[in-house]
Amino acid sequence: MTVPAIELIGISKAFGPVQANKDISIRVMPGTIHGIIGENGAGKSTLMSILYGFYKADSGEVFIHGKKARITDSHSAIAAGIGMVFQHFKLVDNFTVLENVILGAEDGAPLRPSLAKARRILTELEREYELHVDPDALISDLGVGKQQRVEILKALYRQAEVLILDEPTGVLTPSEADQLFRILARLREEGKTIIFITHKLREIMEITDTVSVMRRGEMTATVRTEDTSPEQLAELMVGRKVLLRVTKTPARPGPPVLAVEDLRVTDSTGVERLKGVSFTVHAGEVLGIAGVTGNGQSELLEVLGGMQLATGLISLHGQPLDISGKYANGRARRNDGIGHVPEDRQRRGLILEFTAWENMAFGYHHDPAYQTNRLLMNNAAMRRDTAAQMGRFDVRPPDPDLLARNFSGGNQQKLVVAREIERNPDVLLIGQPTRGVDIGAIEFIHQQIIALRDMGKAILLVSVELDEIMALSDRIAVMCDGQIMGERLPDASDETELGLMMAGVKGKAA
């Protein structure tokens, strides 16, 4: 029997009272792709950080190729042949690929010999694994997919035998993800061992040989991928049966509510981010905007939410909105009945250092119900409302005095969604509603969106998750490079066509 490439025995790690990893044992055979799946906060990243030497386990042992290893920091991890590709790349933007590859692995003070050696090795690696990147290109000129390859090259250059990839597809288009999967398959053929961390069931099914499921710091199961199903994995992750499909009735669209015509935005560097976007959202329907991150969706939401200036026309119930104001008019938008669940809840939607009740009034703090008199705010009223909303949206723990920072990602998102939906807006803008949100909460948030639609509200959904767009939308508009490439009905299109449109190929007229 072959010796496992990586074997963890009885790993435990606690952060104060939180037990992040409980007695975890795992064996990864060489030349396989081993998936680790679990909700946010299940302990996947902690486990990998222990393996990579960022954290020290409270107890447990690590064996690498059968030998007991003492990994105290990332240097010893690299020396033991472990490479890590982080979710957020650790690259120097104004360095070339070559310079990034040798960074921290230079042979001596003069750079020239190291660079020459790296160039030679890089060419070999390129040939061996079909990892094509121009070694002299600046990182800032490369797309995310290419940047990720540089990260993989960095690990291979350090002679990694075991590669850990943490949520690697989060930033990729479907086709870039396919390319990554081809590279991973190739690495497996060459005998490398890959640990693949994700929360996406589809990727686990597609690429892995074995999969371990984590829940609340414990490893609930390790199974061969071919012996399992997405439904079973989801149940193992959440601990109960989960609806993977959203159940909804066909939309009954009413009159147009939000209309956008020829919206244009130029950013501070003079680059045009929105190049004449037009669409209409009707009452009682969900318009989904699909597209890869950074193609103008964020700017679109910012303009509609009153955070950014634009030219063009936005009208609500046929009345044009003022979009030429001098500064933020997020307040005016809310008064007009536009609710907004922003893409980035931690940066925009919440103040992490505020308590839940302070966050529940956020953006609506001018509400007369929250004023005791002309001078003072009515904190008691805010606390009371928050407690009620937390109950209705099943926010856990239901403690209005807890800081937003201390809620899990899913519960933070529930706070934001609750705040915006409870205001009963005519239009709800919702960006990446389930990014970094666990499966249980995804189900709940999707139900809330559909319920709001069925109340006759107009919903604009922006998401980079094509599955989510397909599941929720009544119509789909695809954005690429600041333009709408076309509109499709979810039943009359498929991922291939939408993927092509996301990559900039104009679809045939609908």
Partner 1 sequence: MQKMPAWADAVLVPLISLLLAAILSALVIIGIGENPVAAFRLMVDGALMRSAGWGYTLYYATNFMFTGLAVAVAFHARMFNIGGEGQAMLGGLGVALACLYIPWPHWSVSLIGTTLAAMLFGAAWALIPAWLQAKRGSHIVITTIMFNFIAATLLNYLLVNVLRPKGAMDPATARFPEATNLPTFRDMFSTADNVLFRGTPANVSFFIAVLACVLVWLLIWRTRLGYEIRAFGRSEPAALYAGISPARITMIALMISGALAGLMAVNTTQGEAERLILNSTEGAGFIGIAVALMGRSHPLGVFLAAILFGFLYQGGAELALWTTIPRELIIVIQALVILFTGALDNMVRMPLERLFLALRRKES
Binding site for partner 1 (CB under 8 A): 14-18, 305-307, 327-334, 340, 342, 344, 347-354, 358, 361-363, 365-366, 371, 375-377, 379, 406
Q: Quick one: three-class SS letters along 278-335? A: EEEEECCEEEEEECCCCCCHHHHHHHHCCCCCCEEEEEECCEECCCCCCCCCHHHHHH
Place of tokens 């160039």: 119
Place of tokens 């009515």: 378
Q: How many CA atoms lie within 13 A of 387 on its CB side?
A: 8
Smaller CB separation from partner 1, 197 or 361 = 361
- Measured between alpha carbons, how far is 456 from 252 in angstroms, rounded to an integer? 8
Q: Report the nearest approach of partner 1 to the CB of residue 383 (Å).
A: 14
Q: Report the nearest approach of partner 1 to the CB of residue 322 (Å).
A: 13
Contact by Cβ (8 Å): 274, 264: yes
Smaller CB separation from partner 1, 18 or 489 = 18
- Measured between alpha carbons, how far is 307 from 426 in angstroms, rounded to an integer? 19
Smaller CB separation from partner 1, 350 or 484 = 350
Q: Report the nearest approach of partner 1 to the CB of residue 293 (Å).
A: 17
Smaller CB separation from partner 1, 335 or 496 = 335
Q: Report the nearest approach of partner 1 to the CB of residue 56 (Å).
A: 13
Contact by Cβ (8 Å): 150, 133: yes
Smaller CB separation from partner 1, 179 or 346 = 346
Smaller CB separation from partner 1, 398 or 490 = 398
Q: Report the nearest approach of partner 1 to the CB of residue 488 (Å).
A: 30
The candidate with the shortest Cα–Cα distance to 182, out of 214, 212, 160, 152, is 152
- Among left, alpha and beta (phi > 0; psi -120 to 50; other), residue 73 is beta
Q: How many CA atoms lie within 13 A of 159 on its CB side?
A: 6
Q: Report the nearest approach of partner 1 to the CB of residue 36 (Å).
A: 24
- Among left, alpha and beta (phi > 0; psi -120 to 50; other), residue 456 is left
Q: Report the nearest approach of partner 1 to the CB of residue 416 (Å).
A: 10
Smaller CB separation from partner 1, 120 or 365 = 365
Smaller CB separation from partner 1, 358 or 468 = 358
- Measured between alpha carbons, how far is 483 from 262 in angstroms, rounded to an integer? 10
Q: Report the nearest approach of partner 1 to the CB of residue 348 (Å).
A: 4
Q: Report the nearest approach of partner 1 to the CB of residue 50 (Å).
A: 17
Place of tokens 């055979």: 29
Burial class (CB in 10 A: 0-12, 13-18, 19+), 154: buried
Smaller CB separation from partner 1, 235 or 367 = 367
